[in-house]
Structure 1
Amino acid sequence: MLTVMTGVLITVVLLVGYALLARWRPGAWTNGLVLLCAVLAAAWVVVRQAVGIPVFGIVVLVLLAAGSVLGVLALPLLLIANGVTMARKEGPRPANLLSGLLGVAILGLMAWLLVSIGHQLTGPLYLGIGAFLALAWLSFGFLGFLASGMALGRSRCAPGRHHLVVLGAGLINGRVPRLLGGRLDRAVDQWRADRAAGYESLIIPSGGQGSDESRAEGDAMAEYLREHGVPEAAIRIEDRATTTAENLRYSTELVAREEPAGLVVVTSSYHAVRAADLCRRQRLRAQVLGASTARYFMPSALLREYVALLAVHPWLNAVMVALTFSTGPLAWWLSSMS
C-alpha cells in the first residue's frame, strides 16, 4: 500500500507542477515532459492495483504486453507509410522522405536486435543496445513535444484588442497555399471574435520573399486577408522576415508605436511549440495559437520541428543522448573486464 500511495503522491506532485509550468511558461517543451511523467506515474499506480486482482490482473498484463509490442511495431510501419504518402502528394524531396527514412532505420535496428536475441553479445550488439536506448530517450522527448503541442492546440484566446502576428510559410506560384491559408483563417476568426466583442485588433501577416518566390509572403498573405473581408486599416504587412525569429522581431517592431495590445502569434499546430519557445527567448509575452494542418502532412512536419527544437537545446539533448548511448559501450567494457 505504501508504494501505491507513493505513486499517487508522485502523480499529484507532477500534475501540480505541470499546472504551474503551463501558466508560467505556456507551450514549453518541458511542460509536456512533466505531464508525460505524471501520466506514466498514474498508469503505474493503476497497473499496480490491477495486478493484485485475480484474473483481471492477468488480463491487464497480457493487454499491456500485447499493446506494447503492437505499438513498437506500428510506429516504424506508420512512419514508412507516411513517407510514401508525403512523397506522392508533396514530391520526393528529402524533407518529405524524413518520416519514411526514420521508420526504415527504426525497423532495421529493431529487427537486428530481435534476431540477435539468444546469441552471444558482441561489440556491435552492445552499440546497438546503446543506440536503442538513445532512441528511447529521443522518443520520450518527442512524446513530451506532442503533449505540449496538444495543450497549445486546445488553447483559446478570449476576445480583446490584439496584435495577431501570422507567421509566413512558402507560397506556391505567388499564391497562399492551403497550409498558410489555415494560419490566416485562424487569425481572421480571432479578429472577427474580437470585433464582435467591440475590439479593433490588427493582423500582421509576416514573411519576406524567398529565393524561389515571386513576391514577399507578407504581400500575398495581406491579399488573402483582404479577399476574406479584413479591411486595409486592420492589416500591417511585415515583408522582410526570412526566419521565425525574424517574423517575431520585425512584427513586434512594426507595431511598437501602436496602441498597446495583447500579442497573439498564429502558426500551424505542428509549429506552435517552437514558436512559443522563440517567443520566450525574445522575452515576448505572447499567446500562441495553432491552426489545423492536413493529417498526412503532420508526421513529417512534427519530426522536422522536433529536430529543430533539439537544435535549440543542444547541450541538454547532447548530454542525454550521450548518457543513454554510452550504456551500451559501458556494458561492453564491463563484460570484457569480467
Structure 2
Amino acid sequence: MVHLITVFFIALFIIAYIQDRRKVLNGFFLTLALISVMGSLAYETVQNPGTFITYIFVFLFGLIIILLAFGGFGLIIFSFFNTVKIYQKEGIRLKNSLLLAVGIGILFLNIARILKLDQYIPTQLDFLFSFAGFCVAYLSFFLVMFGVSSLLYQIYYPKLDKDYIIILGSGLIDGHKVPPLLQSRIKKGLSFYKVQLEKNNKKAYVIFSGGQGEDELLPEAEAMAEFAKTLGLEEEQIIVEDQSKNTYENMKFSAEKMASSSNKKAVFVTNNYHLLRAGIYAKRANIDADGIGARTAFYYIPNAFIREFIAFMNLYRKYHLIVLSIGLAINIFLTALLVYLD
C-alpha cells in the first residue's frame, strides 16, 4: 500500500508536468512525490533492515535532519556574505538587499524565540506572535514550491524547429550600453539560432523585446539588436519590439509581432532565475512557448530569486491577501477565546 501511494504521487507529478510545465503546483506535486519516496524507503528499512536501501534512507534522513537543524543558521550566515559580494559587484541598493533582509528576519525570529519575547506582551496581543508564525509558514511553503518549480522549469531541451526566438530586455548601462546580464541572454538566443541553422538549416526570426526607460537614451530592443549584429546576426532576421515596459508586455507585444505569421513556433530567452515567471506571462499572452535560460553569476542569483518570488506572489496578491486575512481573523478569534476562558 505504501508503494502504491508513492507510485500515485509520482504519476500525479508526471501528468501535471507534462500538461503544463509552468504551473507552480508542479513543485508541490514533486515535493509530495519525494516525501512518499522517503516513506517507501522507511517502510523497506523497517521490513528489511541492513539492506542497501537502509543505508540510502539513513543517509537521506540524516541529511534532512541536518538541514532542518542548521539550515536557518546557515542561511543567516550566507545572506550576510552574499550581500557583501553583491554590494561589491552591483552597488549598495535596496534591490540588492533583499536576501540580507531575509537573513535579518530569520535572525530576529530566532532571537525572539530564544528570549521568549511573547511573554512580555499582554495576553490580548498573543495573536500577533501566532499570526507572525502563520505568515512565516505560509511564505516558506510558497517559497519552497516556487523554488522547486523554478528548478523544474529549467529542464527544457527545445526542438530545433522554432520560427521565432524572443529575447527579453533587462535595462541598459549608462542609458545605451548592453550590460553583461543582457549580453548573456542575447548570446544564449543566438547560440540556439546557430545550432538550429546548422542542424536543420532553418532560420528563425529573433525578436528583441524591450522599451525605453526614463533613464535610457534609446529602447533596449534597439541596443540589443545592434549588439546582436556585432555577433553576426543578419539584419533581415531581426524584429525590434521597443514598446514594452515589463515582462508581461514583453510577451504581449512580441505576440503581436508574430500575429501575422502562420508559423508561430517560438522559444523565449531570459536569465535562468527569471524563467518561470516569464513562462507564466507567456501563457497569459497566449504564446505557446517555453524558455531557455542564460547562465547568471552565482552571487547574483539568491537576491534575484527573492525578487522573482516577491513578483510571483504579487501576481496572485488577491488570493494571498484573502488567505492571510482569514488567518489573522482565526488567530484573533482564538486569542480572544483563550482570554475569555482564562
TM-score (ref. length: structure 1): 0.88
Query: Deviation at 1:125?
Result: 5.3
1:15 aligns with 2:6: no
Query: Deviation at 1:12?
Result: 2.4
Instruction: Say which SS state the counterpart of residue 236 (structure 1) adopts.
Output: strand
Query: Deviation at 1:296?
Result: 0.7
Instruction: Please name the residue that 2:169 is paired with.
Output: 168
Instruction: Please name the residue that 1:42 is paired with.
Output: 37
1:316 aligns with 2:319: yes
For 1:195 and 1:48, the matched residues in 2 are separated by 52
Query: Deviation at 1:126?
Result: 4.8
Query: Amino acid of the residue matched to residue 4 of structure 2?
Result: L
Query: Amino acid of the residue matched to residue 242 of structure 1?
Result: K
Query: Deviation at 1:59?
Result: 8.6
Instruction: Please name the residue that 2:102 is paired with.
Output: 102
Query: Amino acid of the residue matched to residue 175 of structure 1?
Result: K
Query: Deviation at 1:91?
Result: 1.4
| More deviation, 128-137/117-126 | 117-126
Instruction: Please name the residue that 1:75 is paired with.
Output: 75
Query: Deviation at 1:271?
Result: 0.9
1:217 aligns with 2:220: yes
Map 1:226-265; keep pairs closer than 5 Å. 226-265=229-268
- The 8 Å contact of residues 169 and 207 in structure 1, kept in 2 or not, is answered as yes
For 2:293 and 2:246, the matched residues in 1 are separated by 18
- The 8 Å contact of residues 157 and 190 in structure 1, kept in 2 or not, is answered as no
Deviations 1:275-333 (A, max 9, x none): 11112222221122221111111111111111111111123322443455566545533
Larger RCO (alpha carbons 8 Å, 6+ apart): 1
Instruction: Say which SS state the counterpart of residue 290 (structure 2) adopts.
Output: strand
Q: Residue 114 and residue 32 in structure 1: after superposition, are their counterparts in 2 closer, same or farther (change >3 A)?
A: same
- The 8 Å contact of residues 113 and 125 in structure 1, kept in 2 or not, is answered as no
Query: Deviation at 1:186?
Result: 1.3
Deviations 1:58-114 (A, max 9, x none): 998666433311112222332233223222221111111111012101210122113
Instruction: Please name the residue that 1:291 is paired with.
Output: 294
| More deviation, 112-121/54-63 | 54-63
Q: 2:190 aligns with which of 167, 183, 188?
A: 188
For 2:334 and 2:59, the matched residues in 1 are separated by 35
Instruction: Please name the residue that 1:159 is paired with.
Output: 160
For 2:35 and 2:338, the matched residues in 1 are separated by 32
Query: Deviation at 1:13?
Result: 2.2
- The 8 Å contact of residues 137 and 320 in structure 1, kept in 2 or not, is answered as no
Instruction: Please name the residue that 2:135 is paired with.
Output: 134
1:177 aligns with 2:172: no
Instruction: Say which SS state the counterpart of residue 211 (structure 2) adopts.
Output: coil
Query: Deviation at 1:257?
Result: 2.2
Q: Residue 62 and residue 236 in structure 1: after superposition, are their counterparts in 2 closer, same or farther (change >3 A)?
A: closer
Q: Mind listing any 5+ residue stretches in structure 2 that lack a counterpart?
A: none
Which stretches of structure 1, 4 residues or longer, exceed 6 Å deviation after superposition?
Answer: 54-62, 117-121
Instruction: Please name the residue that 2:114 is paired with.
Output: 114
For 1:45 and 1:312, the matched residues in 2 are separated by 36
Instruction: Please name the residue that 1:26 is paired with.
Output: 21
Instruction: Please name the residue that 1:300 is paired with.
Output: 303
Instruction: Please name the residue that 2:87 is paired with.
Output: 87
Query: Deviation at 1:119?
Result: 6.2
Q: Residue 153 and residue 128 in structure 1: after superposition, are their counterparts in 2 closer, same or farther (change >3 A)?
A: same
Taking only aligned residues, the RMSD between alpha carbons, in angstroms, comes to 2.8
For 1:212 and 1:34, the matched residues in 2 are separated by 43
Deviations 1:163-202 (A, max 9, x none): 1110100111211111111111111111111111111111
1:282 aligns with 2:285: yes
Map 1:320-335; keep pairs closer than 5 Å. 320-323=323-326, 328-335=331-338
- The 8 Å contact of residues 109 and 128 in structure 1, kept in 2 or not, is answered as no
Instruction: Say which SS state the counterpart of residue 170 (structure 1) adopts.
Output: coil
Q: Residue 69 and residue 324 in structure 1: after superposition, are their counterparts in 2 closer, same or farther (change >3 A)?
A: farther
TM-score (ref. length: structure 2): 0.87
Instruction: Say which SS state the counterpart of residue 237 (structure 1) adopts.
Output: strand
Query: Deviation at 1:27?
Result: 2.0
Query: Deviation at 1:264?
Result: 1.0
Deviations 1:213-256 (A, max 9, x none): 12110011111111111111111111111111111121121232
Q: Residue 302 and residue 325 in structure 1: after superposition, are their counterparts in 2 closer, same or farther (change >3 A)?
A: farther
Query: Deviation at 1:335?
Result: 3.0
Q: Residue 258 and residue 178 in structure 1: after superposition, are their counterparts in 2 closer, same or farther (change >3 A)?
A: same
| More deviation, 102-111/121-130 | 121-130
- The 8 Å contact of residues 124 and 339 in structure 2, kept in 1 or not, is answered as no
- The 8 Å contact of residues 183 and 267 in structure 1, kept in 2 or not, is answered as yes
How many residues are treated as equivalent by the alignment?
A: 333
| More deviation, 58-67/84-93 | 58-67
